[in-house]
Structure 1
Amino acid sequence: MFTEPLCREAGRISTELIETGYCVLRGAVASGAIAAIDHDLGPHFAAAPFESLDPEMHPAQRIGRLLVRAPATQQLVRHRIILKAVEDILVHGSDTIQLNLAEGVARHPCERPGIPFRDQLMWRGADNRFEYLVNVIWPLTPSCAHNGAVHVWPGSHGSHDLEPAIRSMGIPVEMEPGDALLFLGSTLHNAGANSSDHINRSITIGYCLGWLKPTENQWLAYPPEVARNFAPELSALVGYRRHFAYLGNFEGRCPSGLLDKHWAAEFDLGEVPHFETTPIPAARRLLS
């Protein structure tokens, strides 16, 4: 059940998101937990390709499938206060929410600043009726103005996302490992230039409306044999549940049935598989 302090803190965060478009939660998790995640992801970052064929032009790397590459990231995705605040924001546009992506980003020295962007525009979501997305940035290394910290434009969200021109300067959000930056899909933001001698590593965890196509293909990243080991609320977030009555169904049933350990992973396509579905609550009741 949600406790009163948890609801109060989540309410403070969601209120700040609505008012300014972003919010920083200091000390959201222990810095040691983040250091352990960074250690687990180290070999994966080392093997990841650069986004550009010419690293000097765009020296950044991205890795996905974090929930299996570093299982401790599951605690970040399921962070109770953050998830409650995200649900409070997104519940106005959907009966369920889902994980949009969980990726690691390494920004190397000499990386140029990114183009200011609103993430929800990839779904052409600019009707201002509700938010489509909430992103959470977790720094793996200290993030500051000169090493590629995310810049946000306060007040650029909501109805302001239709304004054709940028009317203010973005501000760098400086954080330490353990802090978390939340911002809305309609909030203008970019990655700052990395003019330091060190790599800036971070994790982006995004949550979006349950009826949108997620940025990271969750069912390829976490197929049934992987998701079967997740907690029910986590498997629901990565797509193993229906939205309303039929959206995202499998053989006319809730896909959560695929996670039943008693049901065979393969079946004869000539026969309809039979399995008991496990009810997954709606997003706004995910942790209650």
Structure 2
Amino acid sequence: MADLQSRDADALTARPDALGAKGFAILRGAASGATIARVASDLSPHFEATPFCQGGFYGTRTKRFGRLLSRSDAVAELVLQREVLALAERVLSPWCDTIQLNLGQAIEIHPGALPQFPHRDQDMWRGVTGEVEYLVNVIWPLTPFTRANGATLIWPGTHGAAALESEMVGEPVVAECEPGDAIVFLGSTLHGAGGNVTTAARRAIIVSYCLGWLKPYENQWLAYPPEVARRFPPELAALVGYRQHRPNLGNFEGQCPSILLGDAVPDHIAAIDALRPDQEAMLADYVDAQLAGGETARAGS
């Protein structure tokens, strides 16, 4: 397996073009040490209390849990990190009106964990492959990522159209990095957690963003019901589902679900169009034609 001194090391930089060229990039120092320390401290008791996963994919020597925005206020700083969010929006915006949070999940890989099955996260949806990017993943290490303790393995250049290939090509890069760094990779990029041959667990959280019209991995409205989401800033509330995706997707009684975050929700509300510009233009032409036809009919009567 390649490491950071390999010929693929240029992909492990903060340059945004690395994401398109290699399918991944590492943003060095993307979060402050103070933020990571707060997240790590807040989540530590949850790691301790969470049982091991069941099943070969999740890993029987691995712990996982979600609802991170409810467990640590500092997680919001990572979800809304400007550079990461801009990358996600740039990648996904060609295929959607707005993006959404796909999941926030904490992962702890314990000693003895085997390497994870190499996979592409986009395969959770049965959509067209090789043409559309469905999500962008971000791994935020809470402990150092090393070859020995299960750092994420990433196969460079396996994204996009290359996802149509049935066999793995080349050796994976070991994404060794430090807390505060962000490992960003496309949903079409082949990857998997490494095995942990040390005596200590490695911890991280995953934040991922997907197309706004997809069903996300984590049911955001159950994870963050209105009584929880009301304390989120508007941008964060929108990311977890309190925003319509045109045309009219994810509405509540025909309106943007952000209405649920107000002080009072009327028992009866009017449905309001939320259409794409092309649909609004077609609708305007249709209405104009109908009105013109009515005027002609009245003139002839």
Q: Same fold (TM over 0.5)?
A: yes
- The alignment partner of 1:91 has SS state of helix
CA distance in 2, matches of 1:89, 1:233: 19
- Partner of residue 46, structure 1: 48
Matched, 1:194 2:190: no
- Which of 269, 272, 285 is matched with 2:268 structurally? 272
Residue 132 of structure 2: aligned partner: 130
Q: Deviations over 1:77-123 (max 9, x none)?
A: 00011101110000011011000000100000000000100000110
Match in the other structure for 1:121: 123
Amino acid across the alignment from 2:230: R
Q: How far apart are the structure 2 equivalents of 1:150 and 1:53? A: 19
Question: Alignment partner of 2:74: what SS?
Answer: helix
Change (3 A) 1:216 1:58: same
Across the aligned residues of Structure 1 and Structure 2, the Cα RMSD in angstroms comes to 1.9
Aligned partners of 2:168, 2:155: CA distance in 1, in Å? 9
Higher CA-based Rg = 2
- Deviation, 1:15, is 2.0
Once the 2 structures are TM-superposed, how far is the Cα of residue 124 of structure 1 from its aligned partner?
Answer: 2.1
Instruction: Look up the match of 1:156.
Output: 158
Q: Is the 8 A contact 1:145 1:192 kept in 2?
A: yes
* Alignment check: 8 A CA contact 2:254 2:270 kept: no
Report whether the alignment pairs 1:209 with 2:211.
Answer: yes
1:233 aligns to what? 235
Structure 2 stretches lacking a partner, 5+ long: 1-13, 275-301
Partners of 2:72 and 2:39 lie apart in 1 by 6
Tell me how many residue pairs correspond in the alignment: 258
Please state how far the C-alpha of 1:38 moved relative to its aligned partner: 0.6
Contact 1:58–1:112 (CA<8 Å) still a contact in 2?
no
SS of 1:71's equivalent in the other structure is coil
Structure 2: which amino acid aligns with 1:67? L
- Residue 127 of structure 1 and its aligned partner are, at CA, apart by 2.7
Report sequence identity in percent.
50
1:34 to 20, 36, 44: 36
Deviations 1:60-89 (A, max 9, x none): 001111001011000000001110111000
Partners of 1:157 and 1:274 in 2: CA distance = 44
Structure 1 partner of 2:171? 169
User: In 1, Cα distance between the equivalents of 2:75 and 2:41?
Assistant: 12
- Using the alignment, how far apart are the partners of 2:230 and 2:189 within structure 1? 35
SS in structure 2 of the partner of residue 58 of structure 1: coil
Structure 1 length normalisation: TM-score? 0.86
Are 1:111 and 2:107 counterparts? no
| Among 68, 74, 77, the residue aligned to 1:75 | 77
